[in-house]
Amino acid sequence: MRRPTALGSAALGLVASVALAGCPSAETLGDRANPEMPSWYSRPSGAMRVVVHRPLTAITRQTGEEYERGRAEVDPRSNRVFVGSSDRGIYGLRASDGSSIWRFETLGIVQSEPLYDPELDVVYAGSHDGALYALRASNGTLVFRFSSGAEVARRPVVVGETLFFANAADHLFAIDRRTGKTRWQIHRTSALGMEVAGHAGCTADAKLGIVFMAFSDGHLGAYSMADGTEKWPTLDLTADLEQGTEAPRYLDVDTTPVLADHPTNGRIVFAAAYAGGVVAVEAASGNRVWYNEKVTGATDLMLYRDAPHEPEGGGPMVPEYRVLVASSATSGLWGLDPVTGRALWRNQVPEGGITSPTQASGALMVGTTRYGLFLLSPRNGKIIDGIDLGGGFAQTPSAFGNRAYVMTNAGTFLGLALSPPRKG
């Protein structure tokens, strides 16, 4: 393998600023931003350093998928990473060097977000074959296979002895996490007409005993974790748009709901309809707290939290900082005040799309399908650092401590050491 040469800071700044600030002619930039011989590999002064680099996806087994989606799951205690691939495999890898521990073959491409259960030492991962697999994390042997009837891409949730997960056909399942036996399931009729590719996952609040789920018809639901009964009437997040003169083209809510605490409204849940903006509602009642209709095209949400800390060089403690980050290929990467919904910052993204953001070592990490992987400041959305292999990233990065893991669209698995500057 030939290693690319170092990329100077000036050249990196040019690529990064054009890629995430938006540009009038993405086509003409392509040759410069994605050279045939990548020049990003190691930058001693950079905030992102590659420490693991190995081809993972078996090219001869790919099924025509142009992207590697999903997300890796990290088990830091045992130095393992679990990730799916378009070659129909679920992999267990050593986090230190990316070497293979095991591989499990499914019946479809795997573009999911696995979940590691440390108590049982089991990995749960979905496949486009419509099944959720439970595998022994130590050797990849099958514990159970649950057939859901449609692709499973989002991360499951475990609360007690119950595993909750969703599929692309608007089903929400609650199953026994040890045996895969069904406890209950919810289904809404899928939206008629055009839909955006992908689907939402579920989120559970153990204290309230509620699991939240978003659907392709634009609704957000809340269900009892015990038996699946409805806790409050489903909310139509596109109702305001449907009253207009022209019906919205896409009704989907593809964002997995996100939970947070509100200073006056208690526990709240965030969700976003593709055409209808971002909304915050009270988790216990479904009453609206705020609504930002400007954030259109959102496909992922995440809540960034920075704990109180001492600033660099000393001084008074910096208070907690929180920002709700929304990813949209059409309107950009947004930083919203989780209390009011007000836009704190916005960064336009390059043509082709952007992944869900990940909190990584005090920064935000996002991938773009055409211009590489970037670290951003969570306080203003500005670029800290970036790398580019030439093929782009559709997989959401995973991070633990100062390490991050992600796979490129070409099927190369990367491990990165992170050292972004942290200021007050």
Whether 412 is covered by a domain: the verdict is yes
- The 8-class DSSP code of residue 119 comes to T
Whether 115 is covered by a domain: the verdict is no
**How many CB atoms are located within 10 Å of the residue 46 CB?**
21
pLDDT bucket at 28, cuts 50 / 70 / 90: very low
**How many CB atoms are located within 10 Å of the residue 18 CB?**
17
Whether 161 is covered by a domain: the verdict is no
pTM of the full structure = 0.86
Q: What kind and span of H or E run contains 31?
A: helix 26-33
Tell me the mean pLDDT in the region 263-286.
Answer: 94
3-state secondary structure of 198: coil
| Owning domain of residue 417 | 14-60+356-376+386-424
Whether 404 is covered by a domain: the verdict is yes
- Tokens representing 378? 């969570």
Whether 65 is covered by a domain: the verdict is no
Number of domains in the chain: 1
Q: Over the stretch 209-255, which tens digit does the pLDDT of each residue have?
A: 999 999 988 899 999 999 999 999 999 887 765 554 455 556 677 89
Tell me the mean pLDDT in the region 157-176.
Answer: 97
3-state secondary structure of 141: coil
Whether 80 is covered by a domain: the verdict is no
Whether 420 is covered by a domain: the verdict is yes
Per-residue pLDDT for 120 more than 80? Answer: yes
Whether 275 is covered by a domain: the verdict is no
Residues 296/272, Cβ–Cβ less than 8 Å: no
**316 φ, ψ to 5°?**
-60, 155
- Tokens representing 20? 């995430």
- The 8-class DSSP code of residue 76 comes to G
The reported pLDDT for the residue numbered 40 is 33
The reported pLDDT for the residue numbered 213 is 96
pLDDT bucket at 9, cuts 50 / 70 / 90: very low
Tell me the mean pLDDT in the region 45-50.
Answer: 81
d(CA 257, CA 152) in angstroms, rounded, equals 17
The reported pLDDT for the residue numbered 287 is 97
Nearest-10 crossing angle of helices 9-21, 26-33: 150
Q: Over the stretch 354-386, which tens digit does the pLDDT of each residue have?
A: 899 999 999 999 999 888 999 999 999 998 999
